[in-house]
Amino acid sequence: QTRPLRAPPSSQDKIPQQNSESAMAKPQVVVAPVLMSKLSVNAPEFYPSGYSSNYTESYEDGCEDYPTLSEYVQDFLNHLTEQPGSFETEIEQFAETLNGCVTTDDALQELVELIYQQATSIPNFSYMGARLCNYLSHHLTISPQSGNFRQLLLQRCRTEYEVKDQAAKGDEVTRKRFHAFVLFLGELYLNLEIKGTNGQVTRADILQVGLRELLNALFSNPMDDNLICAVKLLKLTGSVLEDAWKEKGKMDMEEIIQRIENVVLDANCSRDVKQMLLKLVELRSSNWGRVHATSTYREATPENDPNYFMNEPTFYTSDGVPFTAADPDYQEKYQELLEREDFFPDYEENGTDLSGAGDPYLDDIDDEMDPEIEEAYEKFCLESERKRKQ
């Protein structure tokens, strides 16, 4: 009987004889066959499910493939909302297309309204909308008798601005729409560039005045959402506004901070909102978080560092007046505090209970104030007291 031929064993088929038992315990390694990829460099571009590529496909053809100009503009605005990174590469082509399509006063008015609505109805589009407005204000060639793009945009904003007092005290939906307008105007102030005859670039002074009055409207109606909007606006524009006011010798930011202090002391807003306001006051006291490189090379002293005493503990006199090491009569007040120590035999200087038994009422109180917030609040009380004495 003829035995069938077999191929010589490969390196993977060989099993060492001396360790047959241990080898049997291990799974045999099987090499999978190599499969050829069916992917092609000529395959159509992939888009995730739900993604609309209509704008990309018809972009090169401009607005001719769209039934109306408004549909073309709205499609581009939605495209920017989804892909803000495409602004730099596509804005030039968009402006060129508009110069060929926007040829009437009504078309320009419609363009302004579409951009305004997108910037005030989509929260994440206010910044991009302001950049878009700045670019179009310098690159759209149409300038009808009713005004150019920037003039019509400012007129549209003025329409909303004139009802600020009613909007700030309106219902929740009205206030929400008003807040979106306020933040968009803040972005416009930062991004809308006005080029002078000599080539210098400035910001629109009319927007600076408008933001000041909008802040007045918000603080005059100290509801939580109005105050939160004011905080957002000041975080966004506070440093630029204060620099501009200081150049003109105005003290508007001091007046705003005073209004914030009054709101914290008197308004019936929530505790969280009061903490936000205190945080804003602290941010402004640190020059809006801007750090000067020269300060790192000088040793901090009470004369050159306004925050030198920031981490010092706050004490209180017998009349409840706060004081720190920054007060000129600190030693005298502190000595008085030490003399009153006998009135608190069961407590250390830092307030630690030494008696071992806690107050059941005080034990139930959960003081959740963040240490950083508490420090800011103490500093705020100190500054308020100092201003009151002046």
Cβ–Cβ under 8 Å, residues 72 and 111: no
- Six-digit token pair at 176? 């929400």
Q: What does pLDDT average to over the chain?
A: 79
Q: How confident is the model over 118-141, as pLDDT tens digits? A: 999 998 899 999 999 999 999 999
- Phi, psi angle pair for 50, to nearest 5°: 85, -10
Q: Containing H/E element for 193?
A: strand 193-195
Angstrom distance (rounded) from CA 182 to CA 218: 10
pLDDT reading at 237 higher than 70 = yes
Sequence-distant (6+) residues with CB within 8 A of 288 are 238, 239, 242
Angstrom distance (rounded) from CA 278 to CA 260: 8
Instruction: Sort 247 into a burial class: Cβ within 10 Å, 0-12 / 13-18 / 19+.
Output: exposed
> Which amino acid is located at 292 in the chain?
H
Q: What is the pTM of this model?
A: 0.62
Q: How confident is the model over 265-309, as pLDDT tens digits? A: 887 889 999 999 999 999 999 999 887 654 454 566 666 665 555
Average pLDDT value for residue range 78-90: 93
pLDDT reading at 201 higher than 70 = yes
Going from the C-alpha of 156 to that of each of 48, 149, 185, 231, 335, the distances in angstroms are 37, 11, 11, 24, 64
Confidence of residue 390 (pLDDT cuts 50, 70, 90): low
Residue 347's DSSP bridge partners are 353
256: nearest Cα among 210, 218, 223: 218
Cβ–Cβ under 8 Å, residues 242 and 288: yes
Of 214-223, 318-327, 374-383, minimum mean pLDDT range: 318-327
Q: How confident is the model over 11-47, as pLDDT tens digits? A: 444 444 545 454 455 555 555 566 676 777 677 665 5
Better-predicted residue by pLDDT, 23 or 65:
65
Confidence of residue 349 (pLDDT cuts 50, 70, 90): very low
pLDDT reading at 208 higher than 70 = yes
The pLDDT value given to residue 137: 94
Domains, the chain, ranges and CATH? 69-289 (1.25.40.180), 303-338 (no CATH)
Q: How confident is the model over 333-344, as pLDDT tens digits? A: 777 767 765 544
- Six-digit token pair at 299? 């040793």
Confidence of residue 347 (pLDDT cuts 50, 70, 90): very low
Confidence of residue 362 (pLDDT cuts 50, 70, 90): very low
Confidence of residue 195 (pLDDT cuts 50, 70, 90): confident
Average pLDDT value for residue range 223-243: 95
pLDDT reading at 249 higher than 60 = yes
Cβ–Cβ under 8 Å, residues 150 and 108: no
Of 193-202, 314-323, 369-378, minimum mean pLDDT range: 314-323
Residues in the chain: 390
pLDDT reading at 367 higher than 60 = no
> Which amino acid is located at 12 in the chain?
Q
The pLDDT value given to residue 168: 95
Return contacts of 248-252, CB within 8 angstroms, 24+ apart.
252/212
Residue 322's DSSP bridge partners are 316
Residue tagged 């000599």 (tokens): 198
Average pLDDT value for residue range 138-160: 92
- Phi, psi angle pair for 30, to nearest 5°: -120, 125
